[in-house]
Structure 1
Amino acid sequence: MHSFHFRLAAVAAVLASLASSAAGFQKDSQDNVAVYWGKFPRIPLISGGATQIIPIAFLVSLTDPLINLANGNDNCTTFPGSTAMSCPQVEEDIQTCQSKHGKTIMLSIGGETYQEGGFPSPSAAQAGAEKVWNLFGPNTKTPNRPFGQAVIDGFDFDFESATKNMVPFAQRLRELMDADTKKPYYLSAAPQCPFPDRADGEMLAGEVAFDFIMVQFYNNYCGVQSFVGGGSGKGAGGGSARREQSAFNFAAWDAWASGKPLDGSRGSKNPDVKILLGVPASKLAASTGFVEPALLQPIMKFCADSFPSFGGVMMWDMSHLFSASGGAGSFLEDVHGALSMAATSVLSGGKDRVNGVNATATQPEQQGAPDPDTADDNDNDNTNSTSSGATTIITSASTRYYSSSMAVSWLAMATLLHSLL
């Protein structure tokens, strides 16, 4: 009976999720949903369904900027006399996602095939940032732009190994984005959950202002699979749950967001940064870390109740989310439903915050923990997880989302009003 009511609430919540997703990334919201696209995209970018943020993966070269969209390259050609890709279909999809559905489209830099290791000098890094900005930013007169007239909404860093001079690269990108006042631009990163992150740690240590980060809570000992329930009858959001999190370390990242990391290092440069809980979109999307929606819901509630920096969920990736094995988007429905319930709990003055329980947790010992560099990264994909019929599946699924997604706000409002009466 409990699972039936959870499923009913999840389905009801997703009926209106586009009311929220139409606004793209929301810095004051706890129900942002980001889904990566591009690794094995057997579905079009525009089929993202009820998601607010879509990072396109990946820009795999910075010295000579080059995108690699894996199977998505089938819709691209090369510019004459160049190795640069021209992707008119992606261009059209980006513009449609932005203008008609209000989505935030990011370009993710890095991935497992990125091998350059950064830049030889700060000046080279700054020049590289300007080149990337010209190719994907608002200067649409730049020749050989991979996405043509489409202008992305920001950049995401998903480096899987150490790099050099990425701080001046990111700082220059930030300067260029902030100087353009015609539209908002965002900067994000996707570190693995062990803190501090070995690949993005230098940028995250108070050097670059990020708007949000999407921590990969999978393929590592600190992933969502290590979450400990409330115990003692307190429920997932209770104080007991906070004390028992010796491995699942959202608390360490929340401390970073507050500017006071548990290890004494420098924290986030942006005090209002949001953290998205990164999870696999199906069992085949990662080696470890996939949990069923009924188990993911209390984890999201715990994070929403306990940590001011919690900003929603990230999923890797769209091909898994909408593959036949992924349930044609049912996982997305459940995530939206769980997020709606978690956000409503906080808005209605959830028990944990009313009682003033201190949201702290023990940072896991690094000794004896698996080496994050040996763990699978964001790109742990299995091509068998997608099917040739995925496009047909997503067409019907996204039609369902777009036609019925105006109810989530009413569900949350009704629940909130009920709690106040």
Structure 2
Amino acid sequence: MLAGLVAMGGVAALGLWAAGAADLPDRAFPRVVVATFVTSVGGAVEMSGDAGELAATDAGLTVMPLSVTLTGALVIARGFLRPLRHRAVVGARELAGWAGRIAVLWLLALLGAGFAARQTFEVSLGEGLLSDLGDLFGVRPTVGFTTDLPLTVLFGLLWLAGVLVLALLVSHRAPLPGRLPGLRTSVRPAAYAMVALLLAYVVVGVVVALVVAATRDRPADTFAVLLLGLPNLAWPALTIGLGATWNGRVEGPFGLPMPRVLDEVLRTPDVSTVNVGTLAERDGRMWWLLVAAAVLVLSAGFLMASRCPARLPAWLHAVRLAVALALTVLMIGLVGRVSAHYGLSVLGIGDLGGGLAGQVFLRPRLWGAVGLALLWGLVAGFLGSLLARWAGGRSRRVRH
């Protein structure tokens, strides 16, 4: 548990340092690190602004730094499973007691982070008319963030529960309570295959990020993306490779670290459509997203089938992978969406949409993506089952 908190804090701090957040005024860096931790477990950080009676501000941010989320999930899951790996059986009461002790410590961490993640910054009005009006009327606009403590505790505990349950479902060594033996053959192989699929996309993203950092300018920006939001790019790439469509827009001087081709697609007067076609119009290499999805999803189908009893029919493998992939894509659509905006006006000048304002959002066409995942899962599950059966038969022939 403590190792998970340290790992999440370390990854968040390094990522924010690479992004330049160490230069924030008023020694705000530690509080920004804590706020990043809060958002990484589903907590609610609310943006606020104050510009006095003669001005107005508007700000909002909704994004999960999934690199921090993934780091915490892996470390906490490993710590949870470590005492169980040599056990043949475990009772439901004992398992609930062990999880409850972790939850109490986690609750204390959430409460501490919720109280610590609060900060206010003064916003520069830049140069020109807005600056002159600000000096004349003594306007000193500020923007800051606070934590919605009840929502942070609620979603943080749900996040922990999800991590612990998923850890039990994925691990083939961890014992299950006596009343749940069917999960070992029906759910565990599919859960393991989906986690392996998500991690494979992250590994590919790490390789690409390291190549980009070594061959292009400003490697610090690349490492900031790597340490804060690599799954925010890698996992939507999975859905786009499956044929899904996302909608989004980048407006104004603000933006999020993202590949150049994605930034170009999103910087349009209207809401943009992001899919493999629109990306390939600007960079033909984006068609490789389709190839990567086909290879890796089929590999997940083979991996699932190789962990299931050999007697299961191929159609059942197909159905199980389809459901698992649809749930995975649904999760990506819920946690991968991004929304951020900021606006400032003084005496109506700026209109919350001038040179100091901006917005970024990216969200999926969720149910279309889930439907495509079902189709891909049916095909990949069926083919993966046949491939696993062929590979098993060949290995038996080689042994004889």
Larger fraction in helix: 2
TM-score calculated relative to the size of structure 1: 0.26
TM-score calculated relative to the size of structure 2: 0.27
Based on CA coordinates, which of the two structures has the bigger radius of gyration?
A: 2
